[in-house]
Structure 1
Amino acid sequence: MSKSALCIGINDYPGTDSDLSGCVNDAHDWSALLDGRGFAVRQLLDAAATKASMVAAMTDLITGARSGDSVVITYSGHGTWVPDTSGDEPDGRDEGLCPHDIADGQVLLDDELAELFARRDAGVRVVLISDSCHSGSVIRGRDPDLDPAAPRARFLPPALWLGADALPSGAPPARVFGGFTRLGGDLLLAGCRDAEFSWDTRFRGRPNGAFTYYALKALAGLAPGASYLDWFRAIGTFLPSTSLPQTPQLSGARGARHFPVFE
């Protein structure tokens, strides 16, 4: 059995005036953890994380895995949406991830991800961890490590990169992760609900995504052999909080939720 991972972190979004600060640190942190757990890890950071590079790297990872192998993909960066043209989205929007070259129209849509993940062999375990999203508000949890500076949402409004003539009028709120539940992977760990933001902020002076920071902190406190469900419940002791109103989500097969984390 082989274990492979791809960790993507994008702070730099030229042409959008919407740079982030914690995404590259997120990618480094996920890489260090996964390397320590026996994964062969590849990174795509900032300018290296174009749409073409992301698709190529994900394709290599997915199509190169065989039954019994484990694949983990982490993404930290902006999420966005475009008008749905196929009629398969109840909200009228296709959701997507924002590569480094998003200002050139290079969005990675949920439909494209679904097609890519569907190419995996049967028996390949896939975990997608995505720290990006949209808007919402809940009050709970605790955040003593959080710096007092205001966090920034990891959502890139389409108006910043998509032409005004392509924007629909009167559409309902975006659901950035709406399409990911259709992916062929076993599990999705998302930073928040469909109608919420994931926050880019600082902890003890160091930039990070709030979900990434607390997911790693929660995992460090678990016993060996803990399941993804155990991990998800532990993350819930930190998020949402008063300063970070985001509610992490765990999606996937019931059996997969009980698999040991990153095994």
Structure 2
Amino acid sequence: MAKKALCIGINDYPGTGMDLQGCVNDAQDWARELQQRGFGVTTLLDAQATKAAMAQAMGSLIEQGQGGDVLVITYSGHGTYVPDTDGDEVDGLDEALCPHDIRTEGALLDDEIHELFLRRQPKVKLVLVADSCHSGTVTRAAADPDADPRATRPRFMPIGNWMDAAALPRALPAVQGSSPLAKLMLRRSGDLLLAGCQEGPNHFSYDAHIAGRFNGAFTYYALKALRGLGADATYAQWHKAITPAMLPSVSYPQSPQLVGDAAARRSRIFA
């Protein structure tokens, strides 16, 4: 059984006014933890995490997996929505992850992620950790030059911050769907998603400043909870140790989610 991981962290979003501060630290923290647990780890940080590089790295990780292997993908960065063009979304929106070059290459759509996951061999275990959110509006979010750099910031990027004005819809429909990663987890038994917040409008994962350092609030507390668990702990026990014991909090009002079937939730962490 092989154990392999891909850890993606993006703070730098050129031309959007939506830079973050804790995502690279998140990716490095996940990579360090997974290496200590026997994983071979690849990282994509900031400018390395282009749309093409993210798709290639995800595809390569998944294609190389053999039955019984454990694959982990962690993503820390912005999430976004775009209008659905192929009619497969109930709410008329495609959910997406935001690569470093989103201004020039666009978002990595849930449809594209789904196509990558179709390359997987039977009995490959896949765990996704998403410290981002997929809730917001079309309206551009302006940077606040007077804001305290330690202030929290939702990890959602309105499409007005990266899409050309001529291409913008006048408005987005009400959000009813799930994040791209949540929908993929529900399609296959044995897979799991650990997400930093609930689905739908007004739920966010936050960029945070904790213990003198920038992190995603979810990543910080998820790793803290994990390190306090025994070797035989399950994903369900891990989730219970995070919420409500650590999140949501007054500073970070987010409720982490564990998505997957009952058997997967009862399985040992990263085993």
TM-score (norm 1): 0.91
Query: Deviation digits for residues 28-56 of structure 1, max 9, x if unmatched?
Result: 10001000000000000000000111111
1:206 counterpart (213, 220, 232) = 213
Query: Deviation digits for residues 114-171 of structure 1, max 9, x if unmatched?
Result: 11112100100000101000459xxxxxxxxxx9943011111100111234333343
Counterparts in 2 of 1:51 and 1:170: CA distance versus 1, 3 Å: closer
Query: What's the offset of the Cα at 1:113?
Result: 0.7
- Whether contact under 8 Å (1:129, 1:190) holds in the other structure is yes
Q: Output the CA distance in 2 between the equivalents of 1:76 and 1:99.
A: 10
Query: What's the offset of the Cα at 1:243?
Result: 1.4
- 1:22-101 matches, cutoff 5 A: 22-101=22-101
- Whether contact under 8 Å (2:90, 2:176) holds in the other structure is no
- Whether contact under 8 Å (1:91, 1:171) holds in the other structure is no
Q: Output the CA distance in 1 between the equivalents of 2:225 and 2:86.
A: 40
| AA aligned opposite 1:251 | V
| AA aligned opposite 1:115 | E
* Structure 2, unaligned runs of 5 or more: 137-147
| AA aligned opposite 2:157 | L
Q: Output the CA distance in 1 between the equivalents of 2:80 and 2:151.
A: 21
Q: Which residue of 2 aligns with 1:232?
A: 239
- Whether contact under 8 Å (2:208, 2:216) holds in the other structure is yes
Q: Which residue of 2 aligns with 1:117?
A: 117
Q: Output the CA distance in 2 between the equivalents of 1:59 and 1:180.
A: 15
Counterparts in 2 of 1:165 and 1:176: CA distance versus 1, 3 Å: farther
- Whether contact under 8 Å (2:134, 2:179) holds in the other structure is no
* Structure 1, unaligned runs of 5 or more: 137-146
The list of structure 1 runs, each at least 4 consecutive aligned residues, that deviate by more than 6 angstroms after superposition, is none
- Does 169-178 or 117-126 show the bigger shift? 169-178
Counterparts in 2 of 1:135 and 1:87: CA distance versus 1, 3 Å: closer
TM-score (norm 2): 0.89
3-state SS of the aligned residue for 1:21?
A: coil
- 1:115-194 matches, cutoff 5 A: 115-135=115-135, 149-174=150-175, 177-183=178-184, 184=188, 186-194=191-199
Q: Does 1:223 align with 2:230?
A: yes
- Whether contact under 8 Å (1:192, 1:198) holds in the other structure is yes
Query: What's the offset of the Cα at 1:260?
Result: 0.6
- Whether contact under 8 Å (2:96, 2:179) holds in the other structure is no
Question: Could you tell me the percent identity over the aligned residues?
Answer: 58
Count residues with an aligned counterpart: 253
Q: Does 1:248 align with 2:249?
A: no
3-state SS of the aligned residue for 2:90?
A: coil
- Whether contact under 8 Å (1:114, 1:182) holds in the other structure is no
